[in-house]
Structure 1
Amino acid sequence: MAELDIKYWLHDEFLTGSWWLLLVFLILPWIIWSIFLNRKQILETLLFGTFIIIITFLLDLIGITFRFWGYITQFLPIYPGALPFDFSMVPVTFMLLYQYFRTWRSFIVSLICMASAFSFIGEPFSIWAHLVIYIKWKYIYSFIYYIVIGIIVRACVEKLVAISKSQRLLQ
C-alpha cells in the first residue's frame, strides 16, 4: 500500500503547481520570521510556536481521521498532508503576532484579523487551489479555532514565563 501511495505521489503530485505552492508555503514564512524575529524573545516565541505546532498537528490528525477534511495535494507522501500549514504558515504567523502584539487587547485584535484572513481568505484559496477539501468542516470553525488556540497558548506561555522568572528571583 505504501509503495502505491509513493508511486501515485511521485506521478501525480510531486513537482505539480500545487506542490510548488506548498513548498513556498513551507519556506517563505520561516524566511519572513527570521527577518522579523526579536532575538531577545526567541525562547519565549519558540515555546509559543512549538505549542501551536503540536496542537495544530494533533488537531489536523483528528480532522483527517474523522473525515472533517482531506488533502488533495500532499507535500510529502506521508500522513497528514498539511506539513506546510501545520509546521510553517500557521505557527509562524502566530509567533509573529505573539511577538509584536504584547498587550492582551492588541493580541486579541490581531488574532481576530489573522483568524479572519486564514479562515475566510486562505482556506477558500486552499480549496480553490486543490490543496484541501472540506467534507464536514466550515470556515467559521477554523475562525473560532484560531482565536481560542491563540488565547489558550498565550495564557499558558505567559504563566510558564512568570513561573520561570519567579524561580530566578528566588535563587
Structure 2
Amino acid sequence: MKPIQSDEKLKSVNKVYDQVSTANQEYFNLWKKDTLFHWDFWLSLSFTILPILFWIKFRKKESSNRLIFSGMFVFIIASWLDFLGVQYGKWYYTGKVIPSIPSYVPWDWSILPVFVMTLIQIKPKLSPFLKSLIFAGVSTWVGEPIFLWLGFYVMKDWHIYYSFPAYIVIYLIAHRLSKVKNFEPLT
C-alpha cells in the first residue's frame, strides 16, 4: 500500500531515524563496554531496588493502593519530563541500568516515587505545601548534586535551580491524587 505522505518527506524522516538508530547502537555498544556490570551499573541498580524494598517494608499497608496511584503519577511525569530534557539536550545520564531508555531509571522509577509516597504517608496532617518544599529541596539540593558528583547526571543547558519548582508541582499533584476518595465501579 502506498502511503499518502510524500516520498520526499518519508525519505527525510527515514534519514533522521537512521541517524538516531545508529547513535543508539553506538551508545548501546559503549554501555556494554563501559557500564554493564561495572561499579556504576551496580550502584544504579541498587538505587533502583533499595527504595522499592524500603517502601514495601515501611508502607502503610492499608493505604498501598492509594500510595501506588500517587507514585505511578510521579513515575510517569518524572519519566516524561526527564525524557524531554534528554531529547532536547538539557542533560544526559551515564551509569544507566537500561541503555535504551533516555531517562535515569533509578531516579524516575524508584527514588522520586518512593520519596513522594513516603512523605504522603508520614504525618498526613502536615501541610502538603511544606512537604512539597521538603521534597523539592531534598531532590534539588541533595539528590541532584549527589548524582552530579557521581557523574550519573550531566547538565548541558540546565541549571539545578530550574528543577525546584517542577518538584513542588509534582509533589502537590501527587498529594492531591492520594486524597481521591474512590473510583466509580466499572459495571
Tell me the amino acid that sits aligned with residue 131 of structure 1. Answer: F
Query: In structure 2, what is the equivalent of residue 90 of structure 1?
Result: 112
Q: After TM superposition, which residue ranges in structure 1, 4 or more long, deviate above 3 angstroms?
A: none
Contact 2:86-2:103 within 8 A present in 1 as well: no
Structure 2 CA distance for aligned equivalents of residues 19 and 162 of structure 1: 40
Tell me the amino acid that sits aligned with residue 28 of structure 1. Answer: L
Q: CA RMSD in A?
A: 1.8
Higher radius of gyration, 1 or 2: 2
Structure 2 CA distance for aligned equivalents of residues 109 and 35 of structure 1: 25
**1:49-93 deviation line (CA, Å, top 9, x unaligned):** 011111111111111111111112221121214011110001011
Structure 2 CA distance for aligned equivalents of residues 83 and 117 of structure 1: 18
* Structure 1 segments unaligned to the other structure (5+ residues): none
Tell me the amino acid that sits aligned with residue 96 of structure 1. Answer: T
Structure 1 residue 162 and structure 2 residue 181: aligned? yes
Query: In structure 1, what is the equivalent of residue 164 of structure 2?
Result: 143
Contact 1:38-1:99 within 8 A present in 2 as well: yes
Query: In structure 1, what is the equivalent of residue 39 of structure 2?
Result: 17
Aligned partner (choices 98, 114, 117) of residue 138 of structure 2: 117
SS of 2:101 mapped into structure 1: coil
By relative contact order (CA 8 Å, sep 6+), the higher-ranking structure is: 1
Shift of 1:114: 2.5
Contact 2:135-2:171 within 8 A present in 1 as well: no
TM-score, reference length from structure 2: 0.80
Structure 2 CA distance for aligned equivalents of residues 3 and 63 of structure 1: 21
Please, which moves more after superposition, 134-143 or 57-66? 134-143
Tell me the amino acid that sits aligned with residue 163 of structure 2. Answer: S
TM-score, reference length from structure 1: 0.86
Please, which moves more after superposition, 91-100 or 137-146? 137-146
Shift of 1:131: 0.2
SS of 1:162 mapped into structure 2: coil
Shift of 1:19: 1.6
Identity of aligned residues (%): 28
